[in-house]
Amino acid sequence: MKINAKVNLINNDSKMKGVADIVLDDVFVIKGIRVMEGQNGAFVSMPSQKVGSEYRETVFPITAKFREQLMGSVLSAYEQKLQEGLENEEKEKQDSEKNGKGKSKKQAHDRTFADKQTSESAPEDNQEVDEGMSGMGGM
C-alpha cells in the first residue's frame, strides 16, 4: 500500500511535536495523526475520541505489519520536516549574517518603517499633551 504522509510541526513545550495527514493509495485520507515525544523518542498517536473517562482510537491499523509501515511513514515524514526546519534556520542565519548586524533585509526594512512612523507621529502626540496641560493650568 502506498502511504503519503505530510507532517506539520508544532513548536511549543508540549509533548505533541507534530500533526500528520496521510493519504492511502491516493484514495483515502486520514487527518489528525499526532507525533508525540515520549521517554524513548518520537511515536505516533492515531486519532481518538473520549469515551467515558478514556480515549479510544477511531482509526487504526489492524495488522502489526501495516502498523509498522504506517508509523514508519509518519515518523520518516516528521524527521524529514525537522531536517528541513534545521536547514531553513541555518540558511536564514547565514542570510542575516550577510545582511549585517544579524538582521534580514525585511527586518531592517520593517524597523526603518516603524522608526519613521514613530518619528512622524511623535510631534502630534506631544502637541496633544501640551494642549491638555495648558488647559489644566487655566482652571
For residue 52, is it left (φ>0), alpha (ψ between -120 and 50) or beta? left
Q: Which helix (H) or strand (E) holds 89?
A: helix 64-98
C-alpha cell at 94: 547565514
CATH superfamily of 3-48+55-98: Stage V sporulation protein G (3.30.1120.40)
Report pLDDT for 108. Answer: 54
Nearest in space to 28 (alpha carbons), one of 61, 68, 72: 61
Overall pTM surpassing 0.75 (yes/no): no
CB 71 within 8 A of CB 30: no
The residues near 19 (Cβ < 8 Å, ≥ 6 apart) are 7, 8, 10, 32, 33, 34, 35
Contact in structure between 73 and 1 (CB atoms under 8 Å) = no
Residue 126 has what pLDDT? Answer: 42
Residue ranges of the domains in the chain?
A: 3-48+55-98
- The C-alpha angle with vertex 11 and arms to 19 and 39, in degrees rounded to 5, equals 75
Per-residue pLDDT of the chain (139 residues; tens, 9 = 90+): 999 999 999 988 899 999 999 999 999 999 999 999 999 999 999 999 999 999 999 999 999 999 999 999 999 999 999 998 888 888 888 887 777 655 555 555 555 545 544 444 444 444 444 444 444 444 4
